[in-house]
Chain A
Amino acid sequence: MNRRAVSFVEIVIALGILIVCMVPVLTMFGSAGRAVLKSQNLGFAIGFAHRISQHLLAMPFESVTEVPLPGQPVADGPDDEFFNPVSNFGTTGANALRITKAQTPDLWAFLRKYEFRYALIVNNVNFAAGDRMKCVGIIITWKEGGKDLLYKLYTYVPDI
Chain B
Amino acid sequence: MFQTSERPKAGVTLVELLIGTAILAVILGIVSRWFFMQREYQQRLSRVSEIQEDFRRASWNMIQELQMARVIIWPRINADKSLHSDTKLVFKDFNGQIISYYHESATRQIRRCVIPNGPGGVVINPRPIGEGIASASFTASSFDNRLISFHLSSGGVHALDAVYLLNGD
A interface, CB within 8 angstroms of B: 4-8, 11-12, 15, 18-19, 22, 26, 29-30, 32-33, 36-37, 39-40, 43-44, 47-48, 50-51, 54-55, 57-58, 81, 83, 85-93, 95-96, 106-107, 110
What CA separation (Å) do A87 and B39 show in the bound complex? 36
Q: Which of A11, A40, A48, A87 contacts B157 (CB 8 A)?
A: A40
Do the beta carbons of A26 and B31 come within 8 Å of each other?
A: yes
Query: Nearest Cβ in chain A — how far from B123, in angstroms?
Result: 28
Do the beta carbons of A15 and B27 come within 8 Å of each other?
A: yes
Do the beta carbons of B160 and A86 come within 8 Å of each other?
A: yes
A37 closest partner in B (C-beta): B45
Question: How many residue pairs between the two chains, A and B, have CB atoms under 8 Å in the bound complex?
Answer: 139
Dominant secondary structure at the B interface: mixed
CB neighbours of A11 from chain B (8 A): 12, 16, 20
**Cβ-based interface call for B122 (8 A):** no
Known: A58-B141, A96-B83. A40 touches B49 (CB 8 A): yes
Do the beta carbons of B38 and A7 come within 8 Å of each other?
A: no
Show 7 A/B contacts (Cβ-Cβ < 8 Å), sorted by A: A12-B20, A26-B31, A43-B52, A55-B164, A85-B82, A92-B82, A106-B156
**Cβ-based interface call for B162 (8 A):** yes
**Cβ-based interface call for B115 (8 A):** no
Interface size on B, residues (CB 8 A): 53
Q: Which of B10, B24, B46, B59 contacts A7 (CB 8 A)?
A: B10
Q: Which of A18, A55, A88 contacts B82 (CB 8 A)?
A: A88
B interface, CB within 8 angstroms of A: 9-12, 16, 19-20, 23-24, 27, 31, 34-35, 38-39, 41-42, 45-46, 48-49, 52, 55-56, 59, 78-86, 137, 139, 141-142, 144, 146-147, 149, 151, 153, 156-164
Do the beta carbons of B82 and A96 come within 8 Å of each other?
A: yes
Q: Which of B11, B79, B86, B153 contacts A5 (CB 8 A)?
A: B11
Do the beta carbons of B151 and A91 come within 8 Å of each other?
A: no
Known: A50-B162, A51-B162, A89-B86. A40 touches B12 (CB 8 A): no
Known: A19-B27, A96-B82. A87 touches B19 (CB 8 A): no
Do the beta carbons of B78 and A88 come within 8 Å of each other?
A: yes
CB neighbours of B153 from chain A (8 A): 106-107
Q: Which of B27, B79, B160 contacts A91 (CB 8 A)?
A: B79
B52 closest partner in A (C-beta): A43
